[in-house]
Amino acid sequence: MQILSQTEGGIRTVLYLALADRDTWVPGEEICRTQEIAPSFLPKITGPLLKRGILSAVRGVGGGFRLGRPPDTISMLEVIEALQGPLNFNECLIEPGSCERDKLCPVHPVWKQIKDGTERILAMWTFADLARHSNEQEPRLPEREEET
C-alpha cells in the first residue's frame, strides 16, 4: 500500500483544521500556503472530504473550510478511504471471489491479516489524537480501553 500525494495532502489538511479554532473558517489559500498544496490540487483533496462530511465549506468572503465533525470522530482510515478507496493489498481482498484462488491460496490469509491490522491501527488514530501529539517528537499510540 502506498499513500498517494492527494491522500497525504488530505491528511495534512484535516490535521491543520483539527488544530484550528472550530468556529473559524480557514481560507483555502491559507491551507495551500501552510500545507504546501498547489491551489489547483486543493479541490481534488477537499471534494471527497466534503462529500463524506469530514469537511465543511463556505464560499465567498469570510468563507473557507473547517472540520465537518469533531476531530475525535474522524479517523485516519476514514480520510484515507475517502481519498483513495478501501485498503486492498492484493486483488484477492477486493471482494470474496475476486480471485479464483482465494480459497486455495496459502498467502491469502497473510494479505487479509495485514489489511485487517493496518485498518485497525488507522481506525484507532483520530485527528484529535494527532492534534494532541502534533508537537511531540515520538507520538504514542492513542490510549484505548482493551477489548474483552
Q: Name which residue leads in pLDDT, 56 or 111.
A: 56
Instruction: Give 124 or 91, the one with higher predicted confidence.
Output: 124
Q: What pLDDT sits at residue 148? A: 44
Domains and CATH numbers, the chain: 5-85+126-132 (1.10.10.10)
What are the pLDDT digits (tens) for 30-78? Answer: 999 999 999 999 999 999 999 999 999 999 888 899 999 999 999 999 9
Question: Is the confidence at residue 147, as pLDDT, over 50?
Answer: no
The pLDDT score that the predictor gives to residue 115 is 87
Q: How confident is the model at residue 137 (pLDDT cuts 50, 70, 90)?
A: low
pLDDT tier at 131, thresholds 50, 70, 90: very high
What gap in Å lies between CA 30 and CA 98, rounded to an integer? 43
In one letter, which amino acid is 28? G
Question: Using only C-alpha atoms, what is the Rg of the chain?
Answer: 18
- Does residue 16 have a pLDDT over 80? yes
Its pTM stands at 0.83
- Partners of 75 in the beta sheet? 126
pLDDT, the chain, mean: 86
Residue 43's pLDDT is 96
For the segment 91-108, the average pLDDT, to the nearest whole number, is 70
